[in-house]
Amino acid sequence: MRYLFLVIFFSVLMNAQKNQDKKINVKLKNELATIQKDDQVYRELMQPDASQGQKEKVMKEKNLTKEDITDRLWSLMDEQDKVNLEKVEKIIAEYGYPGKSLVGEPENETAWFVIQHSPKINQYMPVIKTAADHKEIPFRLYAMMLDRQLMNDQKEQIYGTQGFSAYDGEKESEPIIWPIKDVENVNKRRKEAGFDNTVENYAKRLYGKNFVFKKYTLDEVLKFGTGQKTEEKSLNIELKKELAQIYNDDQIYRELMQPNIKPERKAEIIKEKNLSKEDMGAGLIKLMNDQDQKNLAKVEKIIEKYGYPGKSMVGEPENNAVWYVIQHSPKIEKYLPLVKKASDEKEIPYRLYAMMLDRKLMYENKEQIYGTQIRSIFTTKDGKTETLSFVWPIKDPDQVNELRKNSGFGKTIEDYAKDMTGIEYKKYTLKEALELQKKK
């Protein structure tokens, strides 16, 4: 009888598990797993203990250069966050919050991560609260988002999950934990919410074992400023936003031309720009050129008003935006002295000036210095177009790798040529290159 009971019990248990599994939307679960990976990948690279192997893996997976890793990481993360948010908003519109009963664990936490990293916490807080109340996500996630919302609103947090670096108008302070309402009972609330450590231990996890938790009042902290990463206090935020849009506009059609662009990203751009089949054909170059002209007009007005908008004015990576627009314009010669001055004053990386100088020299049919410019020659033979791509002649090819290293380039000329053209680097003389140009 006991044996029969066990058989029935396990049979019922297995059937219940199967029925539960059937409720899981596997396709949505997989989609959220990818979104979660995309949400974390650039953040992992920012960790001080990120290994070189991990960095190389991400670079290969995301087709990144070393320059992307050093100069564009924040921008890449922001771009990915926007893409993720758009996907999550569509999911929420169709399903409501995709919680544990719909997608299982840990994918039930994915939408929370994306919203937590977005500017739309206030909009989705009720959705997160409902998901937590119905045990679709751990309550501690709601607690963390509530704390972030309160900090953003310059109010005391409840659970002590949010820290920031304060600013006194001149310099950035050591990090602190944002002020907590009823701080004497915070550890009790943390335990009830599902946190496994005290606020004191949590602070050490955030800021190191030697960090000492200090109880700040809201009045004390508000004297420092608003709790944003405060080195940006002196930045021109409106100009920073404008340059971010200009950079996006500069890159978007070029991104479409990349042979390794992902189909979903291609579809997103086509939808965003409302492109037709004709636009995606011969019209793409014209669209890019038209956008370049618009960008140049905007950038020239900015330069006229501010000078070069560098790192101290707009932060990173927006300090590079004007450089991209000029590099893609016919006015390199006019603005090269301005770009040189910006690089000398460390407002932009020196390697950007080096690239623009090389392009100017190539346009003048002169030898370049740093080997950054590739020339493609198109010829027609038997009705077929053939392409020859090569590194434009270099003034001192034997010393170029040393120059590149000293100027901030992460690759040798040989590796750079292989990445850009897919072929071995070949030294051309200026005479040879000019003769090839005549044949095109």
Instruction: Determine, yes or no, domain membership for 434.
Output: yes
Span 56-111, pLDDT tens digits: 777 777 777 766 666 667 778 888 888 999 999 999 999 999 999 999 999 999 99
Span 151-179, pLDDT tens digits: 888 899 999 999 877 544 444 557 889 99
The total number of structural domains in the chain stands at 4
pLDDT given for residue 431 in this prediction? 94
Long-range residue pairs from 197-204, CB within 8 A, at least 24 positions apart, any chain: 199/160, 202/160, 202/161, 203/163, 203/177
Q: What is the band of 426 on the pLDDT scale with cuts at 50, 70, 90?
A: very high
Based on the domain organization, do 161 and 263 belong to the same domain? no
DSSP, res 220:
H
| Among 242, 215, 232, residue whose Cα is nearest residue 306 | 242
**Which phi and psi angles does 374 have, rounded to 5°?**
-105, 135
Based on the domain organization, do 334 and 361 belong to the same domain? no
% of the chain with per-residue pLDDT over 90: 53
3-state secondary structure of 403: helix
For residue 4, pLDDT over 80 is answered with no
3-state secondary structure of 391: strand
Domain boundary among 201, 217, 234: 234
Instruction: Determine, yes or no, domain membership for 125.
Output: no
3-state secondary structure of 106: coil
Based on the domain organization, do 281 and 383 belong to the same domain? no
Q: How far apart are CA 369 and CA 327, in angstroms?
A: 16
Q: How far apart are CA 356 and CA 372, in angstroms?
A: 9
Residue type, 291: Q
% of the chain with per-residue pLDDT over 70: 87
Based on the domain organization, do 93 and 192 belong to the same domain? no
Instruction: Determine, yes or no, domain membership for 101.
Output: yes
Based on the domain organization, do 334 and 246 belong to the same domain? yes
Based on the domain organization, do 334 and 374 belong to the same domain? no
Based on the domain organization, do 261 and 330 belong to the same domain? yes
Based on the domain organization, do 286 and 186 belong to the same domain? no
Q: How far apart are CA 268 and CA 147, in angstroms?
A: 33
Instruction: Determine, yes or no, domain membership for 129.
Output: no
pLDDT given for residue 2 in this prediction? 42
Instruction: Determine, yes or no, domain membership for 8.
Output: no
- Residue-number span of the structural domain to which 217 is assigned: 138-234
| Among 91, 82, 155, 151, residue whose Cα is nearest residue 119 | 82
Q: Which residue has the tokens 């750079």?
A: 416
pLDDT given for residue 28 in this prediction? 95
| Mean of per-residue pLDDT scores for the chain | 85
Q: How many CB atoms lie within 10 A of CB 363?
A: 13
Based on the domain organization, do 228 and 332 belong to the same domain? no
Domain boundary among 214, 234, 254: 234
For residue 17, pLDDT over 60 is answered with no
Q: How many CA atoms lie within 13 A of 387 on its CB side?
A: 7
pLDDT given for residue 71 in this prediction? 62
Instruction: Determine, yes or no, domain membership for 417.
Output: yes
Q: Which residue has the tokens 């979104």?
A: 35
Q: Is 202 exposed, middle or buried (0-12, 13-18, 19+ CB in 10 A)?
A: buried
Q: How many CB atoms lie within 10 A of CB 30?
A: 12
Based on the domain organization, do 248 and 344 belong to the same domain? yes
Tokens representing residue 187 in the block = 């550890």
Question: Quick check: pTM over 0.75?
Answer: no
